Chains A and B, each alone.
Chain A
């Protein structure tokens, strides 16, 4: 009888898990469905779930109103640019924290991470003024620097936890073999940390892609990414749910696909070190 009890218990848990997953996924599903409705269907009450006139009109309108591809290109440039910069600084920094720790290493790491907990709006004015002074408003350079710096603590932290798992002796062996610090990082450390670096890159791209606050505040036309593109649909002429949904679907599709295909890598990266 005990066996039967566990089976029904398992069924219940499975059902709950699916229900919970659906609950989490539902807003995105609803957004995608709405993007195929006419504006009238989109605000119809009771809501129409599947039985309505499916149309691609919203997508055509969105592309006609502003050029989706330009915003998409900007998003790609910004996330990749900030990620490459992040790696160039993050890998050597994480190396130093992991392999040459001092008494204060842990505190410095925590302090760096704590900057992520500060509300961005608190530094909006000074950063805005700085960008203004340096003529970096609405430029790729300006926004890339902001994205790079705001994600750097997380990148360093993730790389640090990965590097710490790499046996010290292997690096010492390469030192005995005559590898300079730089060659040690390029030939020995980085290849061994590839899974960790890959998930760090992935997370950073996603964070940069989804970043909204700075994109809205320091860009206008030239460097505006997809998050600004969606936002442009929200206010001026009232709410057009169907078009807003189409724009949002277009904006999140690339990153959702990227995340979908690399979820195994991503989960491993985020939980790395939690379980030996």
Chain B
């Protein structure tokens, strides 16, 4: 079991309000990603759940038990840190087994559990090494192993992949997802990378200045963002935002259209534009174009269009997938 409830959680550092008030329910067994720009309070929120920071107000409940005043270890949670935070003077086996040793588990049982976790994470042959002798990916797996053996109610990940190179990051992303599928334990994952959020999460929580802007399934956030902030934060490349006269034509002071929801033609269309930059990824092409009265727009086309900088094109937005926002930046639902 691992249901977590946050009730009116507030955190201030001296006079600075980091998290005004957060209410959130994290269902048992779900994979929840906290995402937002740096300084949005996502790591602080995770640390509040972990017990590494004290709440200024509110309550944290785990399986309906109020753990607000519990020490970190008493909460039955495991955490994987951005810097891995391995104990450099201990072997891999001791690192993984440290939590069990602290809990007074008999040595034979520690060995058994460490062997099991090591096997699961392909670390068996490294058990006698020190963290300093391992690669970044292996270190991260040791950190995950240390979290697994304690059989926690929930795993907390604090930007665990940001110290890895791009290729390894994709691989570890898959491994963590696979781990979640096999353990079915609640996972809370903090990242500033919306790709990680989209690909891994059951539920994404978008944070901005300590407030939850929107929480929901990845596709829900992608398809119907509640406000401009979420609209711009989720999706890559970023949604095109158009304001003023051009937007009014579509019945709102501000409209948004994703780069993949724009039709491109060489002959005719709603918006005449001029290509400024072409980015070819192979499977698709991103065109950065200058549109009169709208500034720069991004368009995504499948395959290679053969467009060159300076070409004249015509764009037509898919009206059905247009996002409309009121002057406050909130989505207008029809």
Contacts and interface: CB of A to CB of B under 8 A. Distances in A.
A138 to B, nearest CB: 43
Given A174-B98, A177-B102, A179-B102, A191 B72 contact: no
A177 B150 contact: yes
A173 B85 contact: yes
**What's the interface size class on A, roughly?**
10 to 19
Contacts of B229: none
Contacts of A188: 87
B83 A176 contact: no
Interface residues of B, number: 22
Kindly name the residue among B78, B87, B88 whose own CB sees the greatest number of chain A CB atoms within 10 A: B87
A60 interface: no
Contact of A176 (B78, B82, B86, B87): B78
Contact of A169 (B71, B85, B89, B150): B85
A177 B88 CA distance: 15
Nearest to B50: A176
B215 interface: no
B99 interface: yes
A170 B102 contact: no
Given A167-B85, A170-B86, A175 B52 contact: yes
Interface string A159-175: 00000000101101111
Kindly name the residue among B85, B103, B146 whose own CB sees the greatest number of chain A CB atoms within 10 A: B85
Interface in B94-133: 98-99, 102-103
A119 interface: no
A175 B73 contact: yes
A178 B102 contact: yes
Given A167-B85, A175-B71, 13 more contacts: A169-B82, A172-B81, A172-B85, A173-B146, A176-B72, A176-B77, A177-B73, A178-B102, A179-B102, A187-B98, A188-B87, A192-B88, A194-B89
Interface of A: 167, 169-170, 172-179, 183, 187-188, 191-192, 194
13 contacts: A167-B85, A169-B83, A172-B52, A173-B85, A173-B87, A174-B102, A176-B79, A176-B99, A177-B146, A179-B73, A183-B102, A187-B98, A191-B89
